[in-house]
Structure 1
Amino acid sequence: MFGQRLRLARRQAGLSMQALAESVNPSVSAQAISKYEADKMMPSSGVLVGLSKALGVSLDFLVGGQVSALQSLEWRKTSNASAQDRAKAETVVIGKLEDYLAIEEILDSNPSDDPFAELRINHVESDVALDKKAREVREKWQLGIDPIPSMTALLEDKGLKVIETDLPERINGMACHVERANRPPTEVIVVARQTNVERKRFNLAHELAHRIIDGTGNPSIRLEPAMNRFAGAFLIPAEHLTALAGEHQRGVTYHEIMRLKQTYGVSAAAMLMRLRQVGILSEAAVEYAFKTYARKWRTVEPEPIEEGKGFSAFEAPQRFQRLVWRALGEELISPVRAAQMLGLPLNIIEREIRGPREH
Structure 2
Amino acid sequence: MFGQRLRLARKRAGLSMQALAERVTPSVSAQAISKYEADKMMPSSSVLVGLGKALGVSLDFLLGGQVEALESVEWRKNSTASAQDRAMAESIVIEKLEDYLAIEDILDMHPAEDPFAALRVDMVADEEAIDAKARDVRREWQLGIDPIPSMTALLEDKGLKVIEADLPERINGLACHVERAEGAPTEVIVVSRHTNVERKRFNLAHELAHRIITETGNAALKKEPSMHRFAGAFLIPREHLEEEAGRNRHGMTWIEIMRLKRTYGVSAAAMLVRLGQVDILSKSAVEYAFKTYARSWRREEPEPIGPGEGFAAFEKPQRFERLVWRALGEEMISPVRAAQMLGLPLSVVERDIRGPRDQ
TM-score range, shorter chain: over 0.9
Report the more deviating stretch, 307-316 or 27-36. 27-36
Asked whether 1:295 is paired with 2:289, we answer no
Could you say which residue in structure 2 is the equivalent of 1:46? 46
| Matched ranges for 1:226-245 at <5 A | 226-245=226-245
Q: 1:3 and 1:183 mapped to 2: Cα distance? A: 21
Which residue does 2:156 correspond to in 1? 156
1:263 aligned residue? 263
TM-score by length of 2: 0.99
2:142 maps to amino acid: Q
CA RMSD, Structure 1 to Structure 2 (Å): 0.7
Q: CA deviation at 1:170?
A: 0.4
1:105 correspondence with 2:105? yes
- Is 1:168 aligned with 2:168? yes
Distance in 1 of aligned mates of 2:312 and 2:123? 34
- What 5-or-longer segments of structure 1 have no aligned partner? none
Deviation, 1:112, is 2.2
Q: Could you tell me how far 1:357 is from its partner in structure 2?
A: 2.9
1:182 and 1:300 map into 2 onto residues whose CA distance is 44
SS at match of 1:183: coil
CA contact (8 A) 2:66 2:182 kept: no
Residues 29-68 of structure 1 aligned to structure 2 (within 5 Å): 29-68=29-68
Alignment match, 1:358: 358
Deviations 1:220-273 (A, max 9, x none): 001000000000000000000001100001111000000000000000000000
Deviations 1:306-340 (A, max 9, x none): 11010000000000000000001111111111111
Gaps of 5+ in 2: none
| Residues 189-204 of structure 1: pairs in structure 2 closer than 5 A | 189-204=189-204
Match in the other structure for 1:314: 314
1:29 Cα shift? 1.2
Confirm whether residue 216 of structure 1 aligns to residue 244 of structure 2.
no
Shift of 1:354: 1.3
How many angstroms apart in 1 are the aligned matches of 2:248 and 2:118?
35
Distance (whole Å) between structure 1 residues aligned to residue 111 and residue 255 of structure 2: 44
**Amino acid in structure 2 at the alignment position of 1:204:** L
Q: Distance in 2 between matches of 1:354 and 1:45?
A: 38
State how many pairs are aligned. Answer: 359
2:340 corresponds to: 340
- Return the alpha-carbon distance in structure 2 between the equivalents of residues 97 and 346 of structure 1: 21
Task: Specify the alignment match of 1:28 in structure 2.
Answer: 28
3-state DSSP class of the match of 1:184?
Answer: coil
Q: In structure 2, give the amino acid aligned to 1:108.
A: D
Q: Percent identity?
A: 77
Is the deviation greater in 49-58 or in 153-162?
A: 49-58
Distance in 2, matches of 1:108 and 1:238, equals: 42
**1:193 CA displacement:** 0.4
- Aligned AA for 1:63? L
1:89 alignment partner AA: A
Match in the other structure for 2:12: 12
2:68 aligns to what SS in structure 1? strand
Question: Who is 2:304 aligned against?
Answer: 304
What secondary structure is seen at the aligned counterpart in 2 of 1:138?
helix
The Cα of 1:9 is off from its aligned counterpart by: 0.3
- SS in structure 1 of the partner of residue 185 of structure 2: strand
33-42 vs 347-356, which deviates more? 347-356
The Cα shift of 1:27 comes to 1.4
Shift in Å, 1:81: 0.5
Specify the alignment match of 2:280 in structure 1: 280
Distance 1:144 1:336 in 2: 43
Amino acid at match of 2:180: R
Corresponding residue of 1:206: 206
Q: 1-side partners of 2:110 and 2:252: how far apart?
A: 48
How far residue 58 of structure 1 moved from its aligned partner, in angstroms, is 1.1
Partner of 1:147: 147
- The offset of 1:106, in angstroms, is 0.6
TM-score normalised according to structure 1 size: 0.99
Distance in 2 (alpha carbons) for counterparts of 1:200 and 1:59: 32
Q: Which one-letter code corresponds to 2:354 in the other structure?
A: R
Q: Which amino acid aligns with 1:246?
A: G
Indicate the SS of the match to 2:316. Answer: coil
